Structure 1
Amino acid sequence: MAEYAMQFTEIGIRVLSVAAPQILALLQDKARFAELGSRLPVPTPETIPFRTLAEFDAAYERLRFVYDALCIKPAQGVYGAGFRLVREGEDGLDGLLQGGSHSIQLDCLRRLLAQGMPAQTWLLMEYLPGPEYSLDAVADGNRLVALIQREKREDLYGQRLVARPELTDAAAELVARFGLMGLFID
Structure 2
Amino acid sequence: MRIWFNQTFSTIHAVFRNLRQSAPNGEITLICTHTQAHATAFLAADEHYVEPAELTEHEYLEWCVDFCRRHNIQLFWPGKEAALISKHPELFQAIGVQVVSVADFDTLSLLHNKADFYAALPAVVAQTMDFIAVNDRDAFDSAVATLSAHHQRLCVKPAVSVFGLGFRVLDTQRDSITQLLKGVEYQIPLQELRHGMANTPEFATLLVMEHLGGPEWSVDCAGRHGELLCAVQRKKSQLAGGGQTIDNNADIDGMVARLTAHYRLNGLFNIQFKEGVHGVRLLEINPRPSGGFGMACLSGANLAQIALQAIKGKACQPPSIRYGLRVSEINTPVVMMPELL
- Fold agreement, TM-score > 0.5: yes
Which of structures 1 and 2 has the larger relative contact order (alpha carbons within 8 angstroms, sep 6+)? 1
**2: CA distance, partners of 1:107 / 1:155:** 30
Q: Does 1:51 align with 2:135?
A: yes
Equivalent position to 2:213, from 116, 124, 129:
129
Q: Supply the RMSD in Å over aligned alpha carbons.
A: 1.9
The residue number in structure 2 matching 1:109 is 193
Compared CA separation, residues 67 and 16, structure 1 to 2 (3 A): same
Displacement of 1:142 in angstroms is: 2.9
Amino acid of the structure 1 residue aligned with 2:254: D
**1: CA distance, partners of 2:202 / 2:178:** 28
Q: Does 1:149 align with 2:243?
A: no
Aligned residues: 186
Q: 3-state SS of the aligned residue for 2:127?
A: coil
**1: CA distance, partners of 2:123 / 2:251:** 16
Which region of structure 1 is more displaced relative to structure 2, 8-17 or 60-69?
8-17
- Provide the identity percentage: 33
Displacement of 1:98 in angstroms is: 5.7
Amino acid of the structure 1 residue aligned with 2:199: Q
Deviations 1:137-177 (A, max 9, x none): 11111321100111113214232211111111001001111
More helix by share: 1
**1: CA distance, partners of 2:183 / 2:245:** 23
TM-score norm. by structure 2 comes to 0.51
Q: 3-state SS of the aligned residue for 1:171?
A: helix
Tell whether the 8 Å contact from 1:151 to 1:159 is kept in structure 2 after alignment.
Answer: yes
- Kindly report structure 1 stretches of 4+ aligned residues shifted beyond 6 Å: none
The residue number in structure 2 matching 1:185 is 270
Amino acid of the structure 2 residue aligned with 1:88: T
Looking at CA atoms only, which structure, 1 or 2, has the larger radius of gyration? 2
TM-score norm. by structure 1 comes to 0.91
Amino acid of the structure 1 residue aligned with 2:102: V
**1: CA distance, partners of 2:251 / 2:227:** 16
Equivalent position to 1:82, from 142, 166, 173:
166
The residue number in structure 1 matching 2:124 is 40
Amino acid of the structure 1 residue aligned with 2:108: L
Tell whether the 8 Å contact from 1:38 to 1:44 is kept in structure 2 after alignment.
Answer: no
**1: CA distance, partners of 2:151 / 2:197:** 22
